[in-house]
Structure 1
Amino acid sequence: MTHIMVLGAGYTGLLTAIRVARRTRRHGAKVTLVNASPRFTERLRLHQTAAGQRLADHAIADVIAGTGITFLHDRVAGLDPGRHEVTLLSGGVVRYDTLVYALGTVTDRSTPGVREHAHVYDDHHDAVRLAASLDRLTEGTVVVAGGGLTGVESATEIAEAHPRLRVVLLSRGTPAAMMGPRARAYVRRAMDRLGIEVRAGAEVTKMLPDAVELAGGELVPSSATLWTAGTTGLALAEESGLAVDGRGRVVVDATLRSVSHPDVYAVGDGAAVGQPYGVIHGTCQSGIPTALHAADAIADRLRGRPARPFRFGYFHQPLSLGRGDGVIQFTRGDDSPRRAYLTGRWAVAYKEAVSGSPLLTAALLKRGLVHPRALRVSNG
């Protein structure tokens, strides 16, 4: 019996496990899914949790019910790809034939003081802790460091939910810089409407207990700080001997196999996946296609068929601006912005559909009602 082991039950790990279990069921393969939490974390909604919203709770066991997948609620303590062994924090050692590395990335905490004094979004509990901190404040300043989509979504969500608090967004460049000029202007107007103070060109050098230090020595007072400025791969990948890139992500070939260990596949944020336009960046939009492709590649190889190369093109950049507003920037395959974009209630409805799509995809995959190609965006 072939044992396929999937590490991590985020968006990519969960969908890889469900898809590969269905594709290999007739061949007697055993699929094991390992995750440190028993609940599925909707990372696309962590900014909502941080703002104090109560979201639906999804138990991983319920999501995979009926698939035949064995779920292990445990944390990965070690990986030996040479011996095909995974060591769990509980002390168990599990052997595998094929491994899928779907453990994602974590917040880059290399900036001094981030680890001690900043909130991050590494898991659901992090967002809950930030929500509790904000609820305790009757006044003060909340600093969001990082002007990417996560930083903008968090700043607008917090400002809308806590109007008594001053919200400052620190960004090294222009916030939402990847969007087109008209969409960026809309984002800026939304932040102005919510009273968010935007500091573009701000380089953070240190986090302090009650302030953020900028290059040049300026201190921005902060009652609570959220750090969203960059991610890195888990140390586990490099420590295990897998080939990684400069950000600690597992380097893969055209079929998503590790270039150093062909029995290991890597998907999602924790994989360095090259395309003609460069290495894809970690989003749910790109992660789900890697999950489905890796599952099909594993199934094809078990049947003695060659696996197809992975091809992906972006389609959109969805951004919520609080609960009642948003902007959707449509893109070319290389993620550069097109002229078309959506705003307002249409964007809100669109973003909500995107946020809910992974669980819908999981339900459809369990029943064999969707083909992976229907979820991929052409790069042409």
Structure 2
Amino acid sequence: MSYVYIANSKERTVSAYQRVVILGAGYAGVMAANRLAGSKSLVGQVQVTVVNPHAEFIDRIRLHEVAAGSRKSAAVPMASLLNPAAAVVVGTATRIDPHARLVQFADGREPLAYDLLVYAVGSATAGAGSEGYGVQSAQEAARLRIRLEQLDARAVVTVVGGGLTGIETASEIAERHPRLRVRLVSKGGIGADLSTSGQRELQRKLRALGVELVENTEVENSGEGQLTTSSGARLESDCTVWTAGFSTPDLARASGLPVDPDGRLLVDETLSVPEFPEIFGAGDAVRAPDSVAAHLRMACAVAMPMGAHAANNIIARLEQHAPQAFSNGFMARCISLGRTAGLIQFVHADDRPRPLAIGGRPGAFLKEQVCRLALRWMRDELRHSGSYSWPKGPRAEQPALAEAL
């Protein structure tokens, strides 16, 4: 337990508080900070500090728009999203000392002490080759935007990765830069995990935009002006955009914390680290057990619930209540296909597609509303801690019933 002096013009009192440090100010980190800093039951008991490399919040689901030139910036003033009771430290953490409960920084500044910690440092695309571009950070998106504007007519832009990020990036570039040839290369089938109607609508729109689809093809390496596939084939590419794979900061591994082979922090069902129960994890850089997370994918629709749940369990810990297991399910996959079309694929809680999918302009409208909701939910949590809720995860079902659904 730590103590802080709170002074005013009339008196000086002593208040006990717990120091909660949140590493990362993305969707998970901001949601956790707002729930903790605004908790009425913890008034005067916690000091929340958010550590982030940047002073602004980056709305990552908008970065493909920035890269294509459809949007000027994905940066949002942190003050508009984060509870003012939470302090912000702009810096990069390089090591966590879980025994001394200290966070150390890249610039050598004084370590930051904590009583409880939320690890929410996010992820990035695992790019390949020095010639490649990405859309996972503001810097990457800005660099790609400049490159696209410099390309000559009929230059080939290859987007590697047929997941949702790759699909959205290829669509946005093709619509914004019709003078360019856009190719989307996927290790598997593009949209293979959608319903039949969803696949049909997706591929129809991609082809209408002029996107060349190269499926069931893995890119092994890249060189100047070309890519080499696993079959040995060579594809010309004047600009290669990598959206396949992911990487996480090496912070957890460098700190001696338990990680999976990809470097993600290993947590239990309550999102805490068993060896160090005062450390909680949320977002892309965390691996929870399959019992609660086997169906989950990297998305803000997962990061925000994880951040809120980690905060809930910190509150439970401080109030001496039992922590609860994490539960999170899905309702839909929302895909932008340029500014005038989108695809809403309705899904079961475990992310299996339902038959219904909405495309075209209605899909674009619904996708835009969902993107706006992400910021709105964080702002609502700022004003009313505990207001954000999310769909629960799949329940254990009988095989026959699961197949019927």
- Is TM (by shorter chain) over 0.5? yes
Q: Which of the five TM-score ranges fits, normalised by the shorter chain?
A: over 0.9
Moved more, 25-34 or 317-326: 25-34
TM-score, normalisation: structure 1: 0.94
* Residue 329 (structure 1) aligns with: 345
- Provide the alpha-carbon RMSD of the alignment: 1.6
Displacement of 1:115 in angstroms is: 4.0
Q: Distance in 1 between matches of 2:363 and 2:158?
A: 26
1:218-237 equivalences in 2 (<5 Å): 218-237=233-252
* Residue 28 (structure 1) aligns with: 45
Q: Distance in 1 between matches of 2:152 and 2:189?
A: 30
Displacement of 1:259 in angstroms is: 2.8
Moved more, 346-355 or 53-62: 53-62
Q: Is the CA contact 1:172–1:200 (under 8 Å) kept in the aligned structure 2?
A: yes
Q: Distance in 2 between matches of 1:40 and 1:264?
A: 23
State the secondary structure of the residue aligned to 1:231. Answer: coil
Q: Is the CA contact 2:295–2:351 (under 8 Å) kept in the aligned structure 1?
A: no
User: Which of residues 120, 141, 158 in structure 2 aligns to 1:127?
Assistant: 141
* Residue 278 (structure 1) aligns with: 294
Q: Is the CA contact 2:74–2:138 (under 8 Å) kept in the aligned structure 1?
A: no
Distance 1:59 1:115, change over 3 A: farther
State the secondary structure of the residue aligned to 1:268. Answer: coil
In structure 2, give the amino acid aligned to 1:16.
Answer: A
User: Which of residues 26, 43, 51 in structure 2 aligns to 1:10?
Assistant: 26
Q: Distance in 1 between matches of 2:192 and 2:50?
A: 37
Q: Distance in 2 between matches of 1:371 and 1:275?
A: 27
Q: Distance in 2 between matches of 1:107 and 1:260?
A: 29
Displacement of 1:104 in angstroms is: 1.2
Whether 1:60 aligns to 2:74 is no
* Residue 150 (structure 2) aligns with: 136
1:164-183 equivalences in 2 (<5 Å): 164-183=179-198
Moved more, 252-261 or 11-20: 252-261
Moved more, 256-265 or 124-133: 256-265
In structure 2, give the amino acid aligned to 1:291.
Answer: G
* Residue 46 (structure 1) aligns with: 63
In structure 2, give the amino acid aligned to 1:294.
Answer: A
Q: Distance in 1 between matches of 2:227 and 2:56?
A: 33
Whether 1:340 aligns to 2:360 is no
State the secondary structure of the residue aligned to 1:269. Answer: coil
In structure 2, give the amino acid aligned to 1:216.
Answer: S
1:65-214 equivalences in 2 (<5 Å): 67-92=84-109, 93-109=111-127, 114-139=128-153, 140-214=155-229
Deviations 1:189-225 (A, max 9, x none): 0011011111101111101121111123222111111
Query: What are structure 1's unaligned runs of at least 5 residues?
Result: none
Displacement of 1:279 in angstroms is: 5.4
Q: Distance in 1 between matches of 2:136 and 2:171?
A: 20
Q: Distance in 2 between matches of 1:13 and 1:138?
A: 41
1:336-375 equivalences in 2 (<5 Å): 336-368=352-384, 371-372=387-388, 374-375=389-390
Q: Distance in 1 between matches of 2:316 and 2:105?
A: 29
Equivalent pairs counted in the alignment come to 374
Q: Distance in 2 between matches of 1:56 and 1:191?
A: 24
Distance 1:349 1:68, change over 3 A: same
Q: Distance in 1 between matches of 2:386 and 2:21?
A: 23
Q: Is the CA contact 1:179–1:317 (under 8 Å) kept in the aligned structure 2?
A: no
Displacement of 1:77 in angstroms is: 2.0
Query: What are structure 2's unaligned runs of at least 5 residues?
Result: 1-16, 396-405
* Residue 297 (structure 1) aligns with: 313
In structure 1, give the amino acid aligned to 2:203.
Answer: R
Q: Is the CA contact 1:159–1:167 (under 8 Å) kept in the aligned structure 2?
A: yes
Q: Is the CA contact 1:275–1:311 (under 8 Å) kept in the aligned structure 2?
A: no
In structure 2, give the amino acid aligned to 1:226.
Answer: V
Q: Is the CA contact 2:49–2:87 (under 8 Å) kept in the aligned structure 1?
A: yes
In structure 2, give the amino acid aligned to 1:364.
Answer: D
Whether 1:313 aligns to 2:313 is no
In structure 2, give the amino acid aligned to 1:325.
Answer: A
State the secondary structure of the residue aligned to 2:21. Answer: strand
Q: Is the CA contact 1:157–1:321 (under 8 Å) kept in the aligned structure 2?
A: yes
Displacement of 1:370 in angstroms is: 5.5
Moved more, 234-243 or 292-301: 234-243
Whether 1:240 aligns to 2:255 is yes
Distance 1:273 1:280, change over 3 A: farther
Q: Distance in 2 between matches of 1:89 and 1:62?
A: 27
Q: Distance in 2 between matches of 1:220 and 1:377?
A: 44
Displacement of 1:250 in angstroms is: 1.1
Q: Distance in 2 between matches of 1:271 and 1:45?
A: 23
* Residue 216 (structure 1) aligns with: 231
State the secondary structure of the residue aligned to 1:151. Answer: helix
Q: Is the CA contact 1:243–1:259 (under 8 Å) kept in the aligned structure 2?
A: no
State the secondary structure of the residue aligned to 1:232. Answer: coil
In structure 1, give the amino acid aligned to 2:91.
Answer: D
State the secondary structure of the residue aligned to 1:49. Answer: helix
Q: Is the CA contact 1:232–1:247 (under 8 Å) kept in the aligned structure 2?
A: yes
